[in-house]
Amino acid sequence: MVLFTKSYLPNFVASNRQKTVNTTKKHSVMKRVSFLFVIIAFVTTSVFAETNEDVIYIKSVKFATPLLEQWITEYAKLNPEVQFAIADKNTPAEEVDIQLLPSDVPSNNNYAFSIGRYAVLPIAGKDNTLLTEFQKKKLNTKRLKELYFEKELEEDEYEPAKDKYNATIYSVSHASSVSNAFANHFGYEVSKLKGKKISGDDIFLLNAVQKDNTGVSFNNLSYVFDINSRQLKANIVLLPLDLKKEYSEVIAEANLDKIINLLETRPIDLIPVDEINFIVSKAVDTRAEQFLQWVISEGQTYNHQYGFLKVDKETLAIQQKQVENLLLGYTK
């Protein structure tokens, strides 16, 4: 049995009271800290979710992605609060705000705005054994069609025409390939292109003709030319076209800027030029519309740098008005 003296008893009681107070304070502090962590976690999650929702996702055809990235970089300097991301194959379709696609890709009744044009030129590898023949007889419309497309047979024809070129034609058949623009320009379905269909992006057409000394293809300027040197990429040549002398000289010089200038001022029937469009839905975010407005008015400055033609002034003026209407909340 433990006995407490009079002098010890008050000290013992006081000590226990202090322990109780300290324990209570400790529990109170822990509760406050736990509550604070909950608040921080909630706020962080909310901010993160809000940030994710604020990102503008843009899906782009590959050959136009470098130009799109430049637009985003320049626009962000003026509007750093707006966040962009290039959509990839893992981005849900419902999160994509804008699509950047060739004009011949269906837009599902959404709004389409031309924000650039791309030209397609016929190409071969520099060691192609048919180049001498092409130099002797440059490609006019008739010879170009004979080279690239299956003959349209009449009802009384049973044998296909002999291929006098003995070339291997390479093309890509997916929906956003330049093959569509090339075939449509000359009045054909893409299925009428001769030769071998390769999978993947149009950039692989360069590899195909470099490896095959009878290989012939076509591609857009941004792939055919080195955008830094402004010259043709290594081991690639342009097939000679039957044009007016002053036009032939420009094409033969193979300088990207001079060819762009020629095609913007003198449209040439033998060189397909097609539009590349921003596709936006009726419910697109206002910030996306403002970005679109900037690309139409200011972003054209960067088109040439990446091998694209600018949109003509008349079309730009019409589209600027259309975007203004979208921003006002109604459409024509």
The two three-digit tokens of residue 265, written as one number: 């001022």
Give the mean model confidence (pLDDT) for residues 281-308. Answer: 92
Residue 331 has pLDDT above 90, yes or no: no
- Which pLDDT score, from 0 to 100, does residue 54 have? 86
pLDDT for res 47: 38
Helix (H, G, I), strand (E, B), or coil: what is residue 268?
coil
Q: Is the pLDDT of residue 51 over 60?
A: no
Per-residue confidence at 165, pLDDT binned at 50, 70, 90? Answer: confident
The sign of the CA dihedral 303, 308, 309, 312 is: negative
% of the chain surpassing 90 pLDDT? 68
CA-CA-CA-CA torsion for 145, 146, 147, 152, nearest 10 degrees?
80
Phi, psi of 123 (to 5 degrees): -135, 165
> Which contiguous run of DSSP H or E holds residue 197?
strand 196-198
How many angstroms separate the CA atoms of 35 and 38, rounded? 5
What six digits make up the tokens of 288?
């996306």
> The tokens of 12 are what?
């013992």
Alpha helices, DSSP H, located in 55-120: 65-78
Q: Please choose, from the candidates 64, 76, 185, 66, the residue with its C-alpha nearest in 3D space to the C-alpha of residue 120.
A: 185
Q: What is the mean pLDDT of residues 189-194?
A: 95
Task: Name every residue whose Cβ is closer than 8 Å to that of residue 332 and which is 6 or more positions away in sequence.
Answer: 322, 325
The share of the chain scoring above pLDDT 70, in percent, equals: 78
Give the per-residue pLDDT at 328. 74
- Does the structure show a pLDDT above 60 at 44? no
Q: What is the pLDDT of residue 81?
A: 95
| pLDDT number for residue 304 | 98
pLDDT at 271 over 70: yes
pLDDT band for position 6 (cuts 50, 70, 90): very low
| Cα 66 to Cα 64: distance, rounded to the nearest angstrom | 6
* Mean pLDDT, all residues of the chain: 84
Q: Report pLDDT for 162.
A: 54
What is the longest distance spanned by two Cα atoms in the chain? Answer: 130
Strand pairing class (96-102; 56-60): parallel
Tell me: the pLDDT tens digits for 212-258? 999 999 999 999 999 999 999 999 999 999 999 999 999 999 999 99
Strand pairing partners for 277?
A: 101, 114
Q: What is the pLDDT of residue 7?
A: 44
- Return the SS3 of 149: strand
Q: What is the mean pLDDT of residues 173-193?
A: 94
